[in-house]
DNA sequence: AAAAACACGTCACAAATGTTACACTTTGCA
DNA sequence: TGCAAAGTGTAACATTTGTGACGTGTTTTT
């Protein structure tokens, strides 16, 4: 059981996205009225169980957790790491019968703020800036989900690579992009075998679509890549 | 350009999920203060363009629209139909640089309520029930997204079928389920070729995992199916 | 009632991807 | 600095999935 800290560091809270643009007195007023606790957790501690109903918002202030999806036979299936400052499962706090999709285990010591669902509701009602922050954060998570779903709905690896590179190229505003993950991690993100991804990148290089060396890839045939992502 | 109706039917609005559990006077008070318009649209009319920034909430009251994703070459890629009463792109109303993922075209005549983003924010601040409704609706959409992403992240068709059947079996509370889509539609939902899906279903039947006849499928090896969805 | 459109089941063959294995390079850390 | 761990590139072979085609039955339209 996590221990409750006696006092909260409001100044630190103001720096996390959810409370951005609030004034310290305003935040103090909100916290005074609500059931909000700050807890410290240790490495290996379980912050949330898989399939447990989401009844509270957990916001990592420091530290990080790994999200593990375990199957009936007990093997770990899919993992995702979450680093502070970030909320856990914010998209699943409301709605009907929403549960944690993964088990959240602390990767190291850290701290988190825990706010019961009802208090979140009250809190958002009290301050419009806070409400907008919350909606923005939720929307950004949803957009990430949607982007990934879009990616996964491409059938061939070549299409996924094309879509990923075009997106990276826009974000980094250059035809030469630096991969933001290792190729192994990218293969896992795509849900394909690593050698299969390597082979496809090699072929795209041979076909003149891209120029690939290590983590840097240059787009040569932008039009052709775009035609792939139909 | 859609024409603005002179007067709104509040009683009808109270029946849509977003305004559920509100009183008529309350709703009247909210609408009086905000910029909300009701519009009528005709078959073929475009309600939202793909990649257009989402600056307003569009809620279908009657009728339905098709969502089409068109690629640079102009071909239609993926479609999804939305039926009243339902909001369009509610998950993308807030957040940074969020745009309509599809073009929304009316399938027939109908009506919709349009609320600018700023008004949505004000509206949600004014009434806690409304806020909860909004968050619940958003969360349910996010959950659907998440479920589909989970499905798409299974590599083999057999795994997808297993996961889909297990979920249907829970929802219909029976080992014998009736598919809620045609097998063609299911293949499209899975993002696989129709004959490939048929073949896999046949094989799973042969392997004793399921008993398949037409739209009805009976689960024979629940344990085995669960082991597949790792 | 006839015609058209659609869903279904199946097949042979082509293409894409996964698996396993090995050698080499880079990175991180003691 | 040097060692261990992680990441990378590549190959041969196995497996899965896609493609195109065909015939059948059922529903919808005319």
The burial class, CB within 10 Å (0-12 / 13-18 / 19+), for B145 is middle
Does residue A85 have a cis bond before it (omega within 30 degrees)? yes
User: Token pair 């890549």 is at which residue?
Assistant: A225
Work out whether the CA dihedral A58, A113, A36, B17 comes out positive or negative: negative
Residue-level length of chain A: 230
Residue in chain A nearest B92 by alpha carbon: A139
What size, in residues, is chain B? 230
Locus of tokens 């009736």? B178
Minimal CA–CA distance to B18: which of B148, B112, B144?
A: B112
Looking at residue B134, what is its pLDDT?
Answer: 98
Distance in angstroms (rounded) separating the CA atoms of residues A147 and A157: 16
What count of other Cβ atoms lies within 10 Å of the Cβ of residue A127?
19
From residue A198, how far is each of A152, A159, A160 by CA, in Å? 18, 14, 13
CA of B165 to C1' of D14 (A): 28
Selected residue of B50, B149, B160, B162 to mutate for chain A interface (largest A Cβ count, 10 A): B149
Q: Is the pLDDT of residue A122 over 90?
A: yes
Instruction: List all residues 6 or more positions away from B100 whose beta carbon is below 8 Å from its beta carbon.
Output: B48, B49, B50, B51, B52, B54, B88, B89, B92
- What are phi and psi for residue B224, nearest 5 degrees? -65, -40
Q: How far apart are CA A69 and CA A47, in angstroms?
A: 14
Locate tokens 């919350």: which residue? A134
Question: Which pLDDT tens digits describe chain B residue by residue (230 residues)?
Answer: 444 444 567 788 898 999 999 999 999 999 999 988 999 998 888 899 988 999 999 999 988 888 877 654 445 566 778 888 999 999 999 999 899 988 888 888 889 999 999 999 999 999 999 999 999 999 999 999 999 998 998 999 999 999 999 999 999 999 999 999 999 999 999 999 999 999 999 999 999 999 998 889 999 999 999 988 86
pLDDT at A102: 87
Q: Nearest residue of A to residue B228 by CA position?
A: A71
For nucleic chain C, give residues with Cβ below 7 angstroms from it. A 155-158, 191-193, 195-197, 199-200; B 155, 182-185, 194-195, 198-199, 201-202, 213-215
Mean pLDDT in residue range A133-140:
97
Cβ within 7 Å of nucleic strand D, residues: A 155, 182-185, 194-195, 198-199, 201-202, 212-215; B 155-158, 191-193, 195-197, 199-200
Residues in chain A closer than 8 A to B94 (CB atoms): 132, 135-136, 138-139
Nucleotide nearest B156, CA–C1', reads D16
- Cα–Cα distance, A190 to A147 (Å, whole number): 12
Q: What percent of chain A has pLDDT over 90?
A: 65
Which positions of strand D lie within 7 Å of protein CB atoms?
6-12, 16-21
Q: Number of CB pairs < 8 Å for A and B?
A: 129
Mean pLDDT of A188-192: 93
Which A residues in the span 150-189 are in contact with B, Cβ-Cβ below 8 Å? 150, 152-153, 155
* Alpha-carbon torsion (B156, B161, B167, B169), positive or negative: negative
Spatial distance between the Cα atoms of B67 and B43, rounded to a whole number of angstroms: 14
Per-residue pLDDT averaged across A197-210, rounded? 95
pLDDT at B70: 65
Q: Which of A84, A48, A86 is nearest to A69 (CA)?
A: A48
Whether the Cβ atoms of residue A177 and residue A169 lie closer than 8 Å to each other: yes
Q: Using a 7 Å cut-off to protein CB atoms, list the covered nucleotides of chain C.
A: 6-12, 16-21
Query: Would you call A95 an interface residue with chain B, using a CB distance cutoff of 8 Å?
Result: yes
> Would the pLDDT of A157 be above 90?
yes
Neighbours of A195 (CB within 10 A): 9
Under a CB-based contact definition with an 8 Å cutoff, are residues A160 and A190 in contact? Answer: yes
Tokens 């899975």 belong to: B190
8 Å CB contact between B20 and B10: no
Q: To 5 degrees, how large is the angle CA B179–CA B182–CA B185? A: 115
- At which residue do the structure tokens 């999200």 appear? A67
Give CA–CA dist B59/B209, Å, rounded: 43
Q: What residues of chain B lie within 8 A of the CB of A119, using their CB? A: none
pLDDT at site A96: 94
Predicted pLDDT of residue B2 = 45
Q: Identify whether B220 is preceded by a cis peptide bond (ω within 30 of 0).
A: no
What residue has token string 């745009």? B99
A63-95 confidence digits (pLDDT tens): 888 887 765 545 556 677 888 899 999 999 999
pLDDT at B67: 85
With 0-12 CB in 10 A as exposed, 13-18 as middle and 19+ as buried, what is A6?
A: exposed
CA distance to partner chain B, nearest, from residue A95 (Å): 4
Say yes or no: B129 contacts chain A, CB-CB below 8 A: no
* Residues forming beta bridges with residue A83, ordered by sequence position: A64
Phi, psi of B114 (to 5 degrees): -120, 125
Report whether B3 contacts B37 (CB < 8 A): no
Residue A2 DSSP code: P
* Contact flag B152-A150 (C-beta cutoff 8 Å): no
Whether B101 has its CB under 8 Å from any CB of chain A: the answer is yes
Q: How many CB atoms lie within 10 A of CB A154?
A: 19
């Amino acid at each position: 059981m996590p221990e409750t800290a006696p006092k909260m560091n409001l100044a630190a809270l103001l720096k996390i996205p959810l409370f951005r643009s609030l004034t310290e007195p305003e935040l103090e007023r909100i916290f005074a009225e609500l059931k909000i606790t700050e807890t410290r957790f240790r490495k290996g501690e379980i912050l949330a169980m898989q399939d447990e109903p989401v009844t509270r918002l957990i916001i990592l202030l420091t530290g990080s957790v790994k999200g593990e999806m375990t199957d009936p036979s007990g093997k770990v299936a899919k993992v995702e790491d979450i680093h502070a400052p970030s909320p856990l499962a914010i998209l699943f706090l409301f709605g009907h019968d929403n549960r944690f999709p993964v088990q959240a285990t602390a990767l190291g010591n850290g701290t988190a703020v825990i706010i019961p669902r009802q208090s979140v509701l009250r809190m958002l009602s009290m301050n419009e800036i806070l409400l907008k922050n919350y909606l923005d954060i939720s929307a950004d998570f949803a957009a990430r989900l949607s982007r990934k779903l879009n990616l996964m709905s491409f059938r061939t690896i070549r299409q996924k690579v094309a879509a990923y590179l075009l997106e990276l190229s826009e974000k980094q505003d250059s035809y030469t992009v630096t991969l933001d993950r290792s190729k192994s991690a990218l293969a896992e993100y795509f849900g394909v075998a690593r050698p299969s991804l390597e082979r496809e990148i090699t072929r795209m290089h041979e076909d003149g679509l891209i120029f690939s060396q290590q983590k840097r890839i240059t787009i040569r045939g932008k039009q052709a890549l775009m035609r792939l992502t139909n």
